[in-house]
């Protein structure tokens, strides 16, 4: 097959390209230029620690090492419109966004797939730790957890549609991270020992609050920090600086009992940050919108395990369809810091049943 590989310059996507080439596929390396990288070099970076000019150079070096063609696609406009602008709007509205999931569905498996067709490739591969299998009996493509539980990235891919999954390949999804690095060393890939990036790629120094303030100065308004009874405890410089469950950086004394205070809720209408004890963060229910079902949508309810964050342990729950692409979910046991703007992803064993965006 002719397969386009999204090459970020990291070890995972590099090994994905090398594995496919070794299997005999005709591989084309495509790197996405997502923002202006002019003048970037080494530590002098306008944005974050991923998709920099150095990363594009690394991707090109890997392509040369495995003897495949490599192209850089300018997707700055699409990235700004579909990922960065959403990120800013969500924070300004008192929600906590998940840009990696937006980037996967809107760029890597939508815009990039369209570009790949221009190179004669109907399939896009990435270095995600996840797996796709065809359920012949149901006639549906299933998204499954990666074989390495510590690196599983299926949570970030929940919004992929059936047509996108049909054209998605995850060559490292059945491997452990250690095995991926060992493969890279054995095949002489120049990024074999390159550290993984853990920052939001477009935010300098991981200072998301300053980034939002710069991009949306009119929507980052001062307000007050209040307790559950509405008593004003302090002032703040914008609700975009807070997220549900946050404990550090509140600038507050401990509660009368001496216990630390946590952010319980954000109210964009009056720019209030509500704080309280950790126990007040516990919830058993949530609602989610823009739900994408990878398995067939249930008629009424479905028993699942659900994750409310990437590193949050999956917990038993029941999903109930309440409207068009809307669900209500009830956990068997209370969960800490259910956060509007994040994704909730439903699993049946290792299979991603679906997921949506937490509303409340």
Tell me the pLDDT tens digit for each residue of 116-157: 999 999 999 999 999 999 998 889 999 999 999 999 999 999
**pLDDT per position as a tens digit, 251-308:** 786 666 678 899 999 998 899 999 999 999 999 999 999 999 999 999 889 999 999 9
Considering the domain 221-276 in this protein, what is its CATH number? 2.30.30.280
Whether pLDDT at 228 is above 70: yes
201 in active site: yes
Q: Where in the chain is the domain with CATH 3.40.50.620?
A: 2-206
Taking the C-alpha atoms of residue 30 and residue 112, their distance in angstroms, rounded to an integer, is 9
Least trusted range by pLDDT, from 37-41, 60-64, 67-71, 343-347? 37-41
Taking the C-alpha atoms of residue 49 and residue 99, their distance in angstroms, rounded to an integer, is 15
Taking the C-alpha atoms of residue 107 and residue 170, their distance in angstroms, rounded to an integer, is 16
Q: Where in the chain is the domain with CATH 2.40.30.10?
A: 282-358
- Whole-number pLDDT of residue 34: 85
Work out the average pLDDT over 64-68. Answer: 97
Determine the 3-state secondary structure of 10 from DSSP: coil
Whether pLDDT at 45 is above 60: no
Pairing of strands 223-226, 130-135: unpaired
Four-residue CA torsion sign, 47, 48, 52, 54 = positive
Work out the average pLDDT over 310-339. Answer: 95
Nearest to 128 by CA among 91, 98, 169, 165: 169
Taking the C-alpha atoms of residue 49 and residue 65, their distance in angstroms, rounded to an integer, is 23
CATH of region 2-206, choose from 3.90.1510.10, 3.40.50.880, 3.40.50.620, 3.40.190.10: 3.40.50.620
Chain-wide mean pLDDT for the chain? 90
Helices (H), the chain: 11-22, 53-66, 76-79, 85-92, 99-103, 112-117, 162-165, 177-186, 208-215
Identify the top-confidence range among 68-72, 92-96, 221-225.
Answer: 68-72
Catalytic residue among 50, 51, 100, 201: 201
Provide, rounded to the nearest whole percent, the portion of the chain with pLDDT above 70: 94
Question: CB–CB of 35/77 below 8 Å?
Answer: no
Question: CB–CB of 26/1 below 8 Å?
Answer: yes
Task: Give 221-283 as a DSSP string.
Answer: --EEEE-TT--EEEEES-GGG--TT--TT---PPPTTSPPPEEEEEETTTTEEEEE-GGGGEE
Work out the average pLDDT over 227-239. Answer: 91
51 in active site: no
Q: Chain-centre distance of CA 273, in angstroms? A: 25
Determine the 3-state secondary structure of 323 from DSSP: strand
Q: Where in the chain is the domain with CATH 2.30.30.280?
A: 221-276
- Whole-number pLDDT of residue 218: 80
**pLDDT per position as a tens digit, 154-208:** 999 999 999 999 999 999 999 999 999 999 999 999 999 998 877 677 887 778 8
Whether pLDDT at 46 is above 50: no
CATH of region 282-358, choose from 1.10.940.10, 3.60.40.10, 2.40.30.10, 1.10.8.640: 2.40.30.10
- Whole-number pLDDT of residue 41: 45
Taking the C-alpha atoms of residue 88 and residue 148, their distance in angstroms, rounded to an integer, is 32
Catalytic residue among 50, 51, 100, 103: 103
CB proximity list for 20: less than 8 A, separation 6 or greater? 3, 5, 27, 125, 169, 171
Least trusted range by pLDDT, from 206-220, 291-305, 314-328? 206-220
- Whole-number pLDDT of residue 254: 62
């Amino acid at each position: 097959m002719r397969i386009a590989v999204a090459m970020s310059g990291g070890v995972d996507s590099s090994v994905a390209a090398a594995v496919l080439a070794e299997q005999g596929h005709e591989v084309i390396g495509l790197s996405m230029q997502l923002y202006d990288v002019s003048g970037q070099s080494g530590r002098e970076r306008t944005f974050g620690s991923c998709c920099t000019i150095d990363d594009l150079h690394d991707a090109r070096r890997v392509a040369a090492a495995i003897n495949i063609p490599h192209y850089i696609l300018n997707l700055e406009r699409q990235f700004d419109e579909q990922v960065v602008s959403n990120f800013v709007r969500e924070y300004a509205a008192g929600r906590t966004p998940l840009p990696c999931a937006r980037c996967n569905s809107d760029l890597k498996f939508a815009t990039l797939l369209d570009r790949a067709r221009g190179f004669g490739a109907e399939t896009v591969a990435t270095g995600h730790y996840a797996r796709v299998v065809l359920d012949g009996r149901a006639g549906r493509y299933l998204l499954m957890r990666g074989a390495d539980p510590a690196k599983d990235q299926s949570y970030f891919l929940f919004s992929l549609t059936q047509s996108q999954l049909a054209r998605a390949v995850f060559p490292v999804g059945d491997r452990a991270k250690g095995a991926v690095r060992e493969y890279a060393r054995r095949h002489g890939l120049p990024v074999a020992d390159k550290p993984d990036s853990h920052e939001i790629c477009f935010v300098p120094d991981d200072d998301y609050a300053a980034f939002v303030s710069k991009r949306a100065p009119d929507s980052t308004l001062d307000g007050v920090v209040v307790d559950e009874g509405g008593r004003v405890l302090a002032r703040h410089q914008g609700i975009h600086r807070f997220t549900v469950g946050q404990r550090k950086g509140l600038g507050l004394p401990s509660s009368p009992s001496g216990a630390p205070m946590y952010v319980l809720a954000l109210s964009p209408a009056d720019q209030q940050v509500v704080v309280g004890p950790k126990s007040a963060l516990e919830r058993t229910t949530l609602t989610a919108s823009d739900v994408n079902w990878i398995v067939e949508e249930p008629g009424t309810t479905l028993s699942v395990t659900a994750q409310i964050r990437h590193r949050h342990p999956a917990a038993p729950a029941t999903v109930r369809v309440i409207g068009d692409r809307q669900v209500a979910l009830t956990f068997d046991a209370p969960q800490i810091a259910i956060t509007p703007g994040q994704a909730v992803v439903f699993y049946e064993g290792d299979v991603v049943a679906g997921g949506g965006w937490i509303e409340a």
